[in-house]
Chain A
């Protein structure tokens, strides 16, 4: 499976074949401010200040559960009535809070997460930040991760897009790029846990490709230098704004590849980067096959089983593609937002996979309607529904296996090594319910 044509040449064909639909957008997902949960852990010297209301705080406190007790490096700037009616000065209020944060936690950077409320009252965060930054001499980065515009993981996208524009700010040295190197520098973007960073870097190194930097880095102070002409490649499917920013503002060249999720995706991702750098990839077919062999136990469990993605985190296309390759049948891929350009290569691979497995290309439903979806689920009776927690228990009570979709966001799912993690998650409900079958019937509700 070598990519010989660039995705842009193939795209028109694909779009005719995959059936895209768009529903009402009445679906359940996490608010994008939830990205602070994994980003504050990823960027170790950061502090995230969510400027919003009690509603935002209540969500974070409950969604993040036990994390909230671990002295997290995030907090709410809770807006009160005086802030809404502009009786208080935004600038003075934010200055007071940021000074307190600086004193108590001494971070290298403060991220301001704008919310629905700051949008509606048109609080000029982007305008205030540079002034305050100069005054308290601490970098402030503004990301508008609100529920008016974005869903769940797109929060990370807004933060990374803001971070990308800062990448040359107070940069120490241009040390991450060896000018003698044969290749132009490659920057990868997308927040993944450090072990995954190392694994993916190592895979590229095996092909003779050095990764010059990663957005985001472990520390804000280690942010990579990003210059015109650099190559960039995404590891997560929900980073279209970041990709756009890197292309338009930073004049980087985007490598449009499928995402390194599943052994097939990882191989295609590596091959595409090799292709761009004009390197003949080595040993990837063997590596992929070895991984598939290791997955044998799980593949037997899911072979021929059907799955329905209700859609809430934008990982859906990549996961569906992997599961189809693994032998499952996908009925419907719900997804909050579909960037056909950024995900072009992934869509190509999805279609190609379906052809090779000789199954129909699933329908992709953008901005799904959960009520209609539950109707369809009850008609189709899939073996597995990947969905949010609002629907999981009610569906289980109706005898339908579910997997909580948020776990895919928090688990390590990238690269060859972690393919097993994805199947571990996908098969867990099947394995559990197999064991429970003897208890009694599957339906635990009188209502249909």
Chain B
């Protein structure tokens, strides 16, 4: 047993449901007790979906415990088949069905005699895998099933498209800024004159999966979900894949170069160097922004990074390589992917943290007191408590991390967005500087609780001039701090000396 208040990754069935409900016209039936269909709420709330989530439960209740599911699961599958006429029904086991050990595969086999839809049992074990691993596996499983089916029916066409083309593997619901990312990838690919063959799974029909081998290669933008499918397609059809996440200027360039290499290997002579150069220097603002004078203030500032492997690694690379920020530690809760993360982060931060214990992460943040945190919603709340700003860069997230406006993290526009996020997370440079000089944001003890003119405090001309030089947004604060100091010292006339003495007193 483990005492847990919070978890970074959800249970396995959530991963399966995310994949199933991303496909067009696929219905998932959970073998689960009442109340386990909370996925529907999340999809309807976070993504504000207009359509009913295609997930129902075959409810496990006392009767099922006593006598087994018997015909119940089969009847539910048949019923959904008639009601919704889906192309595929996925029977989804949960933690409950993992222990009941009913022969769900048998139910699937029997139900599929009568259904028009194909029926699959998701091959996930609650106690062995988490949400991301389950999603990765389910996607592979569905792809494999439809490739095999097409093979069997002689419908598999492995001829490549005339023009260079790619499959994007990794578009799904309830993922961090995913739909913006996919739009950005499509734009990037169209500028590179690479046709998009299929984007899976979001919005795709399972019947189109047989067209996957027509693409020249696959692009897997995220580390967590899609790699298994890409590896399967590589093994089966010798399709190369690119698994470099195009997040940040440097990594986007690396991803594009890998695509160039793959196309060149297939006897298409392309050179994307000019494109990368123009995008980096002129179209995207982030590379220039990092070089601009304002970003100097960020040099050597201390940050910590935590999230899923994709985002934690990519953000750490951006902070270190592109903005000159000192990452004290970076880490991920994807423990199963430890070796990959360690390899990627090597040399980019002082320490690598692999854990799914949010208490440990909280303690580590408190210990190193960074200037900024980049993490999940949990780290945002830790930051609130410790008064450290936090930029949210990874799931798990809240509804505010499903923005309506265009907010990709990938590609060149993504680099702009991330640069804004990073820059705005730090206390702004000039403000920071002045606050440091003149003693912070402390307004709790505002003198007399009211305006300063109520007191018999006078300012010399020089002191007033000095005060007026200070930018407006901190002037009031500095005035109050100085007057508070003057009051304490029984000073009636504030001169330059008093201002500096006040500053000194506050800093000590």
> Which residue numbers of A lie inside 8 Å of B, CB to CB?
25-26, 28-32, 51, 53-55, 57-59, 61-63, 65, 68-69, 72, 75-81, 83-84, 88, 93-94, 96-97, 100-101, 116-117, 119-121, 146-152, 371, 374, 388-394, 397, 444-445, 447
CA distance A76 to B50 in the complex (A): 33
6 A-B residue pairs with CB within 8 Å:
A31-B38, A55-B13, A58-B10, A84-B99, A116-B33, A116-B60
- Bound complex: CA of A371 vs CA of B82, how far in Å? 13
- Interface code B240-251, partner A: CB below 8 Å = 1, 0 otherwise? 000000000000
Q: Tell me how far the C-beta of B288 lies from the nearest C-beta in chain A, rounded to whole angstroms.
A: 38
- Find residues 250-309 in chain B having any chain A CB closer than 8 Å to their own CB: none
Quick check: A77 and B3 within 8 Å, CB to CB?
A: yes
Point out the residues of chain B lying under 8 angstroms from A65, CB to CB. Answer: 398
Residue numbers in B under 8 Å from A94 (CB-CB): 1
Given A57-B4, A394-B50: A63 in contact with B38 (beta carbons within 8 A): yes
Residues of A within 8 A of B391 (CB): none
Residue from B36, B48, B99, B384 within 8 A of A147 (CB atoms): B36
Interchain CB contact under 8 A, A117 and B96: yes
B56 CB within 8 Å of chain A: yes
A80 touches B2 (CB 8 A): yes
B51 engages A394 (CB within 8 Å): yes
Q: Are B6 and A68 in contact (CB under 8 A)?
A: yes
The reply on B42 being an interface residue by CB < 8 A is: yes
Given contacts A26-B57, A97-B1, A390-B41, contact A61 B7 (CB under 8 A): yes
Residues of B with C-beta under 8 A to A100: 3
Nearest CB of chain A from residue B73's CB, rounded to whole Å: 13
- Does B61 make an interface contact (CB < 8 A)? yes
| Closest CB in chain A relative to B362 CB, distance in Å | 11
Interface assignment of B83: CB less than 8 Å from any CB of chain A: yes
A325→B42 CA distance, assembly (Å): 35
Asked whether, in the complex, the Cβ of A147 is within 8 Å of the Cβ of B95, the reply is no
Cβ-based interface call for B138 (8 A): no
Given A63-B41, A390-B53, 12 additional A-B pairs, CB 8 A: A25-B61, A30-B35, A55-B126, A61-B6, A61-B7, A68-B6, A77-B4, A100-B3, A117-B99, A147-B33, A389-B45, A393-B50
Known contacts A55-B11, A116-B33; decide if A149 and B3 are in contact (CB<8 Å).
Answer: no
Q: In the assembled complex, which residues on chain A have CB atoms less than 8 Å from the CB atom of B57?
A: 26
What residues on B are CB-neighbors of A101 within 8 Å?
3
> Residue A148 contacts which of B65, B83, B94 (CB distance < 8 angstroms)?
B65
CA distance A390 to B51 in the complex (A): 10
The A contact surface, by secondary structure, is helix
Complex interface: chain B residues within 8 A of A32 (CB): 35
**Residues of the A chain whose Cβ atoms lie less than 8 Å from the Cβ of B384:** 69
Contact call A397/B50, Cβ cutoff below 8 A: yes
* Neighbouring B residues of A116 by C-beta, 8 Å: 33, 60, 95-96
Q: A55-B95, A84-B127, A390-B40 are in contact. Are A76 and B53 (CB under 8 A)?
A: no
Nearest residue (CB) in A for B100 is A120
Q: Are B381 and A374 in contact (CB under 8 A)?
A: no
Which residue of chain A has the shortest Cβ distance to B49 in the bound complex? A393
Q: Which residues of the other chain, A, contact B10 by a CB distance below 8 angstroms?
A: 54, 58
Residue of A with least CB distance to B96: A116
B59 within 8 A of A: yes
Which 10 A-B residue pairs are closest in the complex by CB-CB distance? Answer: A31-B35, A147-B33, A390-B40, A397-B50, A69-B381, A54-B11, A53-B95, A93-B1, A147-B35, A81-B127
On whether the beta carbons of A59 and B38 are closer than 8 Å, the reply is: yes
Cα A165 to Cα B3 with chains together (Å): 28
- Residues in B neighbouring A393, C-beta threshold 8 A: 44-45, 48-50
B473 within 8 A of A: no
A84, A93, A397: the one within 8 Å of B51 (CB): A397
Best-surrounded residue of A54, A80, A152 (most CB of chain B within 10 A): A54
